[in-house]
Amino acid sequence: MVYVVPCTIRRVFKEGRLVADGSEQVVVEDDERGPLRYLEGYISLKELSGSNSVVIRIYVNVDGTDYEKYFERTYTGPQPFPILYIATKPARYGIKITLQQVVGLNSFSYQFFRVE
């Protein structure tokens, strides 16, 4: 299924490098209430080697109170295509993307855009 984002305004929202510490860490969070929006962007998994393993999770806040998880995937070892592209579902109250390295310790570059 192809998901088309009907919005056209894209702004760099957050970019940097996350040093994994074994806990679930927030890569990007957009909790500004307001108009419907999406996040899209990249996380580089090029540092994964051997049996290193990382879990990516995406949460959405649908009622203005708590985040609920709607996506989780584990990546292990070297990736044939190390750039992970993420496009979230639409949200009004908040979107959060996390990373947890469960085996090994690496750092991960990322860049995300807010789509309005």
Burial of 25 (0-12, 13-18, 19+ CB in 10 A): middle
pLDDT in tens, 1-47: 555 555 555 676 899 999 999 999 999 998 877 777 889 999 999 99
The reported pLDDT for the residue numbered 102 is 93
pLDDT in tens, 51-65: 999 999 999 998 888
pLDDT in tens, 71-116: 999 999 999 999 999 999 888 899 999 999 999 889 999 999 988 7
CB–CB of 86/41 below 8 Å?
yes
Is CATH 2.60.120.680 correct for 12-115? Answer: yes
The reported pLDDT for the residue numbered 32 is 79
- Residue 68 has a CB neighbour count (10 Å cut-off) of 10
Rounded to 5 degrees, φ, ψ at 49 are: -145, 165
The reported pLDDT for the residue numbered 23 is 96
Greatest CA separation for the chain: 43
Distance, CA of 47 to CA of 51 (rounded, Å):
12
